[in-house]
Amino acid sequence: MTASENPTAPTSAELVVEGATLDGRIVDVVVREGRIAALGPGVGTDIAAVERIVARGGLLTPAFTEPHSHPDKALSRRLIAPLGLPARLTDRPALMQRQRDLKATFTREEVAGRAGDFLRLAAAQGIATVAGQADIDSVTGLTSFEGVMDAREKHLDLLDLRVTAFPQEGLVQDPGAYDLVAAALASGAHRVGGWPNNERSYEDQISHLDQVFALAERFGVGIDINIDYFTDPTERLLEPLAERTLAHGMQGLVNANHVGALETYPDDDARRVIAKVAEAQIAVTVCPTNLSGSYPYRGVSRAAELLAAGVTVAIGTGNLQDNWEPFGNLDPLDLARLAWHAFPLSDEDDEGIETAWRLITEHAARAVGVPHDELRTGGPADFVVLAATTKTDALRNEPGPRWSVRGGRVVASRVGTMWTAPAPEPVRSS
């Protein structure tokens, strides 16, 4: 029913989305006071709106979630040359040292500026929630964390940044990091991170894990941990992580990033570990771009097997134009397309497209620990409008325009063109 057919219905709104595709049908969205006041065919007709998006059949989707990133390091690659640091490195220890040299120069203001650029780009790509790790260690102290928190506060109107206190250099070999991470958690960090594989011995790696769980329990937060980073069969900490998650009753509160070593396990070992990960309700976030880089590369884990076991699998950006990765644009659709090839999801036909979409929406939100709301009347007006009319075309045509709506307001958008092959002329019989 249109407003003209119902004289008691409000005739104005903050935002109307006209002619979008949702679940295979064309609908309008009427937004008032930050919520979806009406959703359905023709409900925006005759509504005077402060803002109007003419979707022309473009997809309407819940906002995207970025489940793994490093906003404190993002866009820092441009600092390498001015600092006189070596430009071409493939050796892992040398890359780690260049990262230390880089972050030793970081200031709170400089980090906040780059992280702010990162967050604005994320919003323009349709991302409403970002999980971001901030390095906390004896090199950067709390500088990176404080800069990221400053950027978060400044951009709350655009998106929600969930910050992980991340002891990049270790908790055993960098003993001052424990107290620094605790200080960050006391100052508002949302989760505690870790990288136990970076410690020097297996005993130290287990100690690192135990310290992460101790911090999580002390501050009542979840865990966002980088574990078994590389395709290295000697990295075997995912199973102890699952066992501790169960022992501490933290099912559903742990996200494991990368998990590349799982690819290299014998099949029987992999099945056993995957079953424990599923039982512990650990989310696994992998980065499809990790198929390149330093040797051994970081891989994409056994994503298809994890999904088949009922594990929440998400995909993230990881690094963006920094010491580790020269490229990246924060577009979740790029990641979903890469995942379709790399996992692979191609054997699932159309269902593979749906799975790829869940990796950047529902699954990503679960990995971060935030709600994922389907679009409905009365629900929050947080969504994205794309130019493509199908999910398949959205994955094919990433340059198209995009509108990001948060709290009922268009907070970011991007312009571009879409290319679609013209429909063939009908064949006429002679």
Task: Tell me: do 361 and 386 sit in the same domain.
Answer: no
- Pairing of the two strands 48-54 and 35-40: unpaired
Q: How many angstroms separate the CA atoms of 417 and 396, rounded?
A: 12
Tell me, yes or no, whether 334 lies in a domain: yes
CB 382 within 8 A of CB 63: yes
Burial of 31 (0-12, 13-18, 19+ CB in 10 A): buried
Tell me, yes or no, whether 152 lies in a domain: yes
Q: Which of 79, 257, 98, 236 is nearest to 164 (CA)?
A: 257
Domain of residue 356, CATH code: 3.20.20.140
Structure tokens, 367: 């990995």
Task: Tell me: do 395 and 319 sit in the same domain.
Answer: no
Dihedral sign, CA of 274, 194, 365, 116?
negative
DSSP state of 62: E
Task: Tell me: do 29 and 163 sit in the same domain.
Answer: no
CB 184 within 8 A of CB 193: no
Task: Tell me: do 338 and 382 sit in the same domain.
Answer: no
Amino acid in position 183: A
CB under 8 Å to 164, separation ≥6 — which residues?
131, 132, 133, 134, 189, 190, 191, 192, 193, 224
Amino acid in position 11: T
Task: Tell me: do 176 and 311 sit in the same domain.
Answer: yes
Q: How many angstroms separate the CA atoms of 417 and 337, rounded?
A: 19
Element (H, E) at 180: helix 177-186
Task: Tell me: do 348 and 388 sit in the same domain.
Answer: no
379: phi then psi, degrees, rounded to nearest 5: -85, 170
Task: Tell me: do 160 and 21 sit in the same domain.
Answer: no
Task: Tell me: do 164 and 228 sit in the same domain.
Answer: yes
Q: Which residues of the chain have pLDDT under 50?
A: 1-8
CB 189 within 8 A of CB 161: no
DSSP state of 78: G
Structure tokens, 236: 């075997």
Task: Tell me: do 49 and 177 sit in the same domain.
Answer: no
Q: Which of 396, 296, 388 is nearest to 340 (CA)?
A: 396
CB 164 within 8 A of CB 224: yes
DSSP percent split of the chain into helix, strand, coil, nearest 5? 35, 25, 40
Tell me, yes or no, whether 422 lies in a domain: no
How confident is the model at residue 38, as a pLDDT?
97
Q: Which of 32, 33, 5, 3 is nearest to 16 (CA)?
A: 32
Name the 3-class secondary structure at 361.
coil
Tell me, yes or no, whether 343 lies in a domain: yes
Residue 335 belongs to domain spanning: 64-368
Element (H, E) at 266: none
DSSP state of 126: T
Q: How many angstroms separate the CA atoms of 181 and 215, rounded?
A: 8
Tell me, yes or no, whether 14 lies in a domain: yes
Q: How many angstroms separate the CA atoms of 136 and 133, rounded?
A: 9
CB under 8 Å to 235, separation ≥6 — which residues?
197, 227, 228, 229, 260, 261
Largest CA distance in the chain: 83
Domain of residue 49, CATH code: 2.30.40.10
Tell me, yes or no, whether 428 lies in a domain: no
How confident is the model at residue 423, as a pLDDT?
63
- The number of distinct structural domains making up the chain is 2
Give the bridge partners for 256, in sequence order.
Answer: 225, 284
Task: Tell me: do 123 and 14 sit in the same domain.
Answer: no
Q: How many angstroms separate the CA atoms of 284 and 280, rounded?
A: 11
- Radius of gyration (Cα) for the chain, nearest Å? 23
Tell me, yes or no, whether 429 lies in a domain: no
Task: Tell me: do 185 and 262 sit in the same domain.
Answer: yes
Tell me, yes or no, whether 425 lies in a domain: no
DSSP state of 263: G
Q: How many angstroms separate the CA atoms of 300 and 292, rounded?
A: 11
Q: Which of 269, 338, 258 is nearest to 299 (CA)?
A: 258
N-to-C CA span, the chain: 48
Burial of 421 (0-12, 13-18, 19+ CB in 10 A): exposed
Task: Tell me: do 108 and 23 sit in the same domain.
Answer: no
CB 311 within 8 A of CB 347: no
Specify the pTM.
0.93
Q: How many angstroms separate the CA atoms of 242 and 112, rounded?
A: 35
